[in-house]
Amino acid sequence: MNNNKTHAPEAQNSESPKKNKDNYPNQTKQMDEEKRYEEPVAEQSISSKSEPVQEQAKNESSENVSFISFIGGDILTHEFLRRQKGLLILILIYTIFYIANRYACQQELIEIDRLKKELVDMKYNTLTRSSELTEKSRQSKIEEYVSKEESNLQTSTTPPYLIK
């Protein structure tokens, strides 16, 4: 029945314009009836069309990232960043730990280098003192020192012996 009504206006349009004017009230009734049957379909198509438009609007708002919006901080309100804020916070925490760990390691390396230099200086100092002591404890140096001080000490002529 609906098919006949849709073909009827086409047939009237192909006829002369004079007949269209005469049938004008009939055409409006037919159009009203057609609209009555088509309205639910139109509402469905409008609602189905509005959903992609809303999704497209969301996508466009997330795609419109410019340098100015980045500098202004508008990028923080984008859907992607809101969905991934937990991951971004975790990455930020790991980055802070990485920087802190690297700083601590560098400080320890600086301390190790300082201690190595100090150890080398102490080894040279010890070697110098040991050399001076060895030089001063030689028998010839001791005899020379005693003779300069005009002491009554003399070098023994008998060899040392063991007491049992």
Q: What's residue 58's pLDDT?
A: 55
- Work out the percent of the chain whose per-residue pLDDT is above 90: 32
CA 90 to each of CA 60, 84, 105: distance values in angstroms, whole numbers, following the listed order: 28, 10, 22
d(C-alpha 58, C-alpha 78), whole Å: 9
In this predicted structure, which of 31-35, 70-74, 125-129, 136-140 has the lowest mean pLDDT? Answer: 31-35
In this structure, the answer to whether residues 53 and 9 fall within a common structural domain is yes
Does residue 164 form part of some domain? no
pLDDT band at 38 (very low <50, low <70, confident <90, very high): low
Does residue 39 form part of some domain? yes
In this structure, the answer to whether residues 19 and 48 fall within a common structural domain is yes
pLDDT band at 11 (very low <50, low <70, confident <90, very high): very low
In this structure, the answer to whether residues 7 and 68 fall within a common structural domain is yes
Digit-coded pLDDT (tens) for 107-131? 999 999 999 999 999 999 999 999 9
Look at 42 and 81; give whichever has higher pLDDT: 81
pLDDT band at 101 (very low <50, low <70, confident <90, very high): very high
In this structure, the answer to whether residues 65 and 1 fall within a common structural domain is yes
Residue 52 main-chain phi, psi, to 5 deg? -65, -30
Does residue 154 form part of some domain? no
Look at 158 and 52; give whichever has higher pLDDT: 158
Angle in degrees, 0-180, between the axes of helices 24-63 and 2-14, rounded to the nearest 10 = 110
Digit-coded pLDDT (tens) for 74-92? 887 888 888 999 999 999 9
Both tokens of residue 60? 């466009």
In this structure, the answer to whether residues 69 and 91 fall within a common structural domain is no
Residue 108 exposed, middle or buried by CB count within 10 Å (0-12, 13-18, 19+) = exposed
In this structure, the answer to whether residues 73 and 88 fall within a common structural domain is no
Does residue 68 form part of some domain? yes
Whole domain around residue 40: which residue ranges? 1-77
Determine contact, residues 78/65, Cβ cutoff 8 Å.
Answer: yes
DSSP 115-158: HHHHHHHHHHHHHHHHHHHHHHTSHHHHHHHHHHTT-S----SS
Place of tokens 């047939």: 11
8-24: average pLDDT: 50
d(C-alpha 157, C-alpha 160), whole Å: 9
Place of tokens 């009734």: 29
pLDDT band at 159 (very low <50, low <70, confident <90, very high): confident
d(C-alpha 121, C-alpha 127), whole Å: 10
147-157: average pLDDT: 82
In this structure, the answer to whether residues 97 and 69 fall within a common structural domain is no
